[in-house]
Each structure stands twice: as structure tokens, then as C-alpha cells.
């Protein structure tokens, strides 16, 4: 299980360098808010490890999603991550296919991460369980669960350990990876280790509990030690 930490700035990325994956995003623009391409480029220049970039919580806009994905890949991101903030399997397939083509045609070794939301019912968006078969069929690499509405409630508030374990196991059977995020706390780590996704994504956990605070290097190292 790898630790992905989501800094919002270059200085925060420097405090996150112990993490397995540095995930560049802009929390003020949403759960998967996109940061600037020059921030991705700068972090990639010194991180010396995989860099992920969120491109947004997208409505049904396959053209916009594909262009944003291409931009993140060109800026240096190794993992390109998009949230599907809309309903409908057919629309989801169209966006997933567009993002994959935008990234993989030119950068076949980069990873595409398709995110759904644990609170999809209140978001009015597609269920992560419906995303997984599309991800496998279309050729993306990971399916992710995050919380769409950041009100302090975690993924475990909407999906219990058994549900997340089933989700992870089904993804393994489909040949795709699982990433779990969404206001995760230190006390969730034991359950996450039992669920055993490939990646867990955190921000608030390593900001002292407030995602709008600043990432602390000591808490990144604590989280990393706990998952090992």
C-alpha cells in the first residue's frame, strides 16, 4: 500500500517528499481541484518520485476533460486523476475514453486514475462500483474513491470496511488498481491495511486534521511509518 499526499503548493510538496506519490491539487477548487501546470512542472523537477495531478471534479464535458488531462501529462504528471461528478454510465464511458486517449496516445506509460465519490448519492453522481467495469474495459489503470463534498465526513461515513474491501477485491479481479481517499484519519489506517488498496490518498490527515491547514512533514512521516 502506497501513501499519496496532496500538497497544494511547492512549499507543501517539499514537506511531503517522504510520501510514495506526490499529488498536486488545489483544494480551494474542489475535492480534486486542478492546480497550475507550472506548479506540477516545478514539483516534478525536484520530487524524484512519481507525481500525480488532479484535473478537477468534472461535469459531463469530455472535450474539456481530455484537454485538461493532456495538459497535466505534458506538465510532467505520472498519474492523471479525474473525478466524475455526474451521473450515467454512457456519459462516464465517453469521458473516460477521451481522457485515456488524450494521455495514453502520447504517454503510454503514464497512469490514468478515474475517481468516483463515496458520497455519490448526495453528489448525484455515478457510483464507484459502476465506474470500475468501465475503467477496466476502457484501459485506465486505477479507480479511486474520494469524498466529493468536503464537510469533514470521511469515506468511512458512507462506505463501511466491508463495502470498501469488496470494492477493492472486485477491482483486483478486473485487473485494475484501487486508490482510497476522502478525509481519512490516522485511526482509519488499521482498517485500510486490512482492505489493502494499492494507494491511500491523504491531505487533512497530514495537516493535523484540517485540509485547509498546511501539510506537516512530521505527520507525513508518521503516516508512512503506520502503513508500512
Helix/strand/coil percentages in the chain, nearest 5: 45, 20, 35
Query: Which residue in 26, 48, 81, 104 is the catalytic one?
Result: 81
Give the residues across from 200 on adjacent strands.
3, 180
Reduced to 3 states (helix: H, G, I; strand: E, B; else coil), residue 52 is: strand
The DSSP code for 118 is T
25 a catalytic residue = yes
Query: Which residue in 25, 44, 104, 110 is the catalytic one?
Result: 25
8 Å CB contact between 155 and 147: yes
185 a catalytic residue = no
Whole-number Å distance between alpha carbons of 65 and 150: 22
Measured N-to-C along each axis, helices 161-174 and 128-138 cross at an angle, to the nearest 10 degrees, of: 10
The 10 Å Cβ neighbour count of residue 227 is: 15
8 Å CB contact between 186 and 179: no
Whole-number Å distance between alpha carbons of 184 and 171: 20
8 Å CB contact between 199 and 142: yes
Reduced to 3 states (helix: H, G, I; strand: E, B; else coil), residue 4 is: strand
- Active-site residue numbers? 25, 81
Amino acid at each position: 500500500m502506497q501513501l499519496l499526499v496532496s500538497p497544494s503548493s511547492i512549499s507543501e510538496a517539499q514537506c511531503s517528499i517522504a510520501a510514495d506519490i506526490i499529488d498536486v491539487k488545489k483544494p480551494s477548487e474542489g475535492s480534486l481541484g486542478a492546480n497550475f501546470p507550472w506548479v506540477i512542472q516545478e514539483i516534478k523537477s525536484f520530487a524524484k518520485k512519481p507525481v500525480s495531478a488532479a484535473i478537477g471534479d468534472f461535469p459531463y464535458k469530455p472535450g474539456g476533460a481530455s484537454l485538461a488531462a493532456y495538459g497535466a501529462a505534458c506538465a510532467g504528471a505520472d498519474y492523471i486523476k479525474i473525478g466524475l461528478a455526474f451521473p450515467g454510465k454512457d456519459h462516464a464511458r465517453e469521458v473516460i475514453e477521451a481522457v485515456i486517449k488524450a494521455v495514453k496516445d502520447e504517454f503510454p506509460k503514464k497512469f490514468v486514475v478515474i475517481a468516483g465519490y463515496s458520497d455519490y448519492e448526495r453528489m448525484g453522481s455515478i457510483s464507484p462500483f459502476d465506474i470500475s467495469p468501465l475503467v477496466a474495459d476502457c484501459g485506465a489503470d486505477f479507480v479511486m474513491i474520494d469524498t466529493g463534498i468536503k464537510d469533514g465526513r470521511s469515506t468511512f461515513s458512507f462506505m463501511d470496511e466491508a463495502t470498501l474491501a469488496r470494492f477493492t477485491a472486485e477491482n483486483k479481479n478486473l485487473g485494475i488498481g484501487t486508490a482510497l481517499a476522502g478525509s481519512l484519519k490516522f485511526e482509519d489506517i488499521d482498517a485500510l491495511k486490512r482492505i489493502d488498496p494499492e494507494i491511500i490518498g491523504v491531505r487533512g490527515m497530514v495537516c493535523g486534521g484540517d485540509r485547509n491547514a498546511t501539510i506537516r512533514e512530521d505527520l507525513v512521516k508518521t503516516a508512512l511509518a503506520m502503513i508500512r
